[in-house]
Each structure stands twice: as C-alpha cells, then as structure tokens.
Amino acid sequence: MGNGSKTLISIKQTVEKFKEGDQKTFSDYMLRRLVKQGKIPSVRLGAKIYFIYEDILDWLETQSQANVKAEEKSDYGTLRRIGG
C-alpha cells in the first residue's frame, strides 16, 4: 500500500476486522445506523455500503480524542453547591 491506494471494505468485513483485533467496537447494526445518520465516512456503490479502511481508522482516532476532551471538561466527581 505504499503507492497511496486505499482499502475498500464492506460492513461485514469492517465488523470482522475489528473482531480480529479483539475489539468489540462495531456491530453491523451500529455501523448502518451511523452511516444513515451521516456520522461515519462511507461509500455507496449501488445499494451496498463500503468503508475506506484508512478513513475508519482516522475517524476512530478523532472520536477517541473527542471523548478524552469531553472527559477532561466533565464536572463528574466534583462537589457543587445546590440551592442557596
């Protein structure tokens, strides 16, 4: 893949690829829902949905960074005064 080519994979292949890494990251249903909501990069060829593997990895990294930033800004675990 040193020539800049991208790897196109189906929903089923995406689910299986992440299961191989012992990560229970995605289900078929979850991926289809994210595609329908426009939240995950995808490619449609006719009625079939595909992903560019490298784009999925980038998307996961972005989501991971966003989650870390959200946790840093969270008030969870701090005491607040309620009422007067």
pLDDT tier at 1, thresholds 50, 70, 90:
very low
Where exactly are the structural domains of the chain? 8-73
Percent of the chain with pLDDT over 90: 37
Contacts of 25 (CB under 8 A, 6+ apart): 18, 60
Distance (Å) of CA 66 to CA 19, 47, 79, 81: 23, 31, 24, 28
Going 45 to 59 to 14 to 27, the CA torsion angle's sign is negative
Look at residue 48 in the predicted model and tell me its pLDDT. Answer: 93
In angstroms, the CA 70 to CA 49 distance is 30
State mean pLDDT over 54-77.
77
Q: Is the pLDDT of residue 15 over 80?
A: yes
What's the pTM value of the predicted model, to 2 decimals? 0.67
**Of 65 and 69, which is predicted with more confidence?**
65
